[in-house]
């Protein structure tokens, strides 16, 4: 691997470490405090034990326009259980004190603004957050948040879509720290049975522009181990699996104690695929 990623945070170190073993990174997403803080904690631990390389935690927003029904419902459950950004960051603090797995937070812009960008990032950094994704904050408006995040050693991870222009992609690659979050389809989050026709092509396009300066991870619509191996074979440095894990957790709402077993099993299978698919 010729990759020489430009930041030296825990996220890019993780990508480098795995690339050296010809493995790809699996970013595993769960909605924070879904369905309640205790079950979320147990689910997150099961993903880490199942081999998740990076944990991505959602902070719910009432109007999540980038998310499909599965994650929307998870956000609604978390909010009804009383989730707030502060409480979820506290739980992240517990996770980061027990595990070395890098942690990324995904939330929308308004909850961050409501707390104050400075205060949000300081709090997040103290709790061990390593990266942040804000899907409704376009690059053109992002400088302030990015500066504050970087000052608190939090990588600002930008999204790129299949129809993002070359010019914008170049800036996104330039500004992204941690990784570039590649949206592998036209649409919102949610598990799909097959990879979108744009997915592999988009990975190749972004990888060739990134030139190893920042890792590229593909997300949205990825649920199967085969998806993981084909994306990694196409050149992705990592994949993000979200809705399918959230759905697995949601299948056990009547008995949340069951969910960790299934999550760990799913995670193990995804991780196995990454080891085979990485190159």
Partner 1 sequence: MEPLRVLEEAYHRFSSDPLFKRELAGWLAGFAGRPTPLYLAANLSRHAEGAKIYLKREDLLHGGAHKINNTLGQALLAKKMGKRRIIAETGAGQHGVATAMACAALGLRTEIYMGSADMERQRLNVYRMKMLGAQVHPVESGSKTLKDAINEALRDWVTNVEDTYYLLGSVVGPHPYPTMVRDFQSVIGREARRQILAQEGKLPSAVVACVGGGSNSIGIFHSFLNDSEVKLYGVEAGGHNMSPGKHAAPLVAGREGVLHGMMTYVLQNAEGQIEATQSISAGLDYPAVGPEHSYLMNMGRTKYVTQTDSDAVDAFKQLSQLEGIMPALEPAHAISYATKLAKTVGREDSIIVNLSGRGDKDVDTIARQFPQ
List residues binding partner 1 (CB under 8 A).
Answer: 61-66, 68-69, 72, 76, 79, 84-85, 108-115, 136-140, 161, 163-165, 168, 186-188
Q: Of 60 and 128, which CB lies nearer to partner 1 in the complex structure?
A: 60
* Residue listed under structure tokens 């689910």: 43
List the catalytic residue out of 53, 56, 155, 237.
56
Q: Classify residue 122 as left (phi > 0), alpha (psi -120 to 50) or beta.
A: alpha
Q: Of 35 and 68, which CB lies nearer to partner 1 in the complex structure?
A: 68
Annotation says 258 is catalytic: no
Question: How far is residue 29's CA from residue 107's CA, in Å, rounded to a whole number?
Answer: 12
Q: Of 169 and 241, which CB lies nearer to partner 1 in the complex structure?
A: 169
CB of 10 to partner 1, least distance (A): 27
CB of 86 to partner 1, least distance (A): 8
Annotation says 147 is catalytic: no
CB of 256 to partner 1, least distance (A): 23
Nearest one of 247, 248, 227 to 238, comparing CA atoms: 227
Q: Of 29 and 220, which CB lies nearer to partner 1 in the complex structure?
A: 220
Instruction: Say which residues have a Cβ less than 8 Å from residue 192's Cβ, sequence separation at least 6.
Output: 185, 221, 222, 223
Instruction: Say which residues have a Cβ less than 8 Å from residue 53's Cβ, sequence separation at least 6.
Output: 14, 18, 25, 26, 27, 101, 102, 238
Phi, psi of 3, rounded to the nearest 5 degrees: -65, 130
Nearest one of 265, 254, 249, 268 to 32, comparing CA atoms: 249
List the catalytic residue out of 67, 118, 141, 237.
67
CB of 114 to partner 1, least distance (A): 3
* Residues designated catalytic: 56, 67
């Amino acid at each position: 691997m010729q990759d020489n990623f430009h930041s030296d945070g825990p996220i890019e170190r993780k990508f480098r470490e795995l690339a050296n073993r010809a493995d790809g990174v699996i970013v595993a997403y769960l909605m924070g405090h879904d369905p309640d803080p205790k079950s979320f904690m147990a689910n997150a631990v099961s993903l880490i034990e199942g081999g998740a390389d990076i944990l991505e935690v959602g902070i719910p927003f009432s109007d999540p326009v980038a998310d499909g029904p599965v994650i929307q419902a998870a956000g609604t459950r978390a909010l009804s259980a009383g989730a707030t950004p502060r409480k979820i960051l506290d739980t992240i603090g517990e996770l980061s004190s027990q595990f070395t797995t890098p942690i990324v937070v995904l939330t929308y812009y308004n909850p961050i603004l409501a707390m104050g960008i400075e205060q949000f990032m300081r709090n997040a950094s103290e709790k061990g957050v390593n990266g942040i994704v804000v899907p409704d904050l376009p690059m053109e408006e992002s400088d302030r948040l990015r500066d504050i995040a970087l000052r608190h050693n939090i990588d600002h991870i930008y999204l790129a879509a299949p129809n993002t222009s070359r010019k914008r992609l170049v800036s996104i690659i330039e500004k992204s720290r941690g990784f570039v979050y590649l949206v592998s389809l036209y649409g919102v989050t949610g598990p799909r049975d097959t990879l979108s026709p744009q997915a592999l092509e988009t990975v190749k396009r972004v990888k060739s522009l990134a030139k190893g300066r920042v890792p590229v991870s593909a997300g949205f619509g990825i649920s199967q181990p085969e998806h993981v191996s084909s994306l990694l074979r196409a050149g992705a440095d990592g994949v993000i699996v979200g809705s399918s894990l959230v759905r697995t957790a949601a299948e056990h709402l009547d008995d949340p104690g069951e969910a960790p077993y299934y999550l760990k099993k799913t995670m193990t299978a995804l991780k196995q695929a990454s080891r085979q698919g990485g190159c």
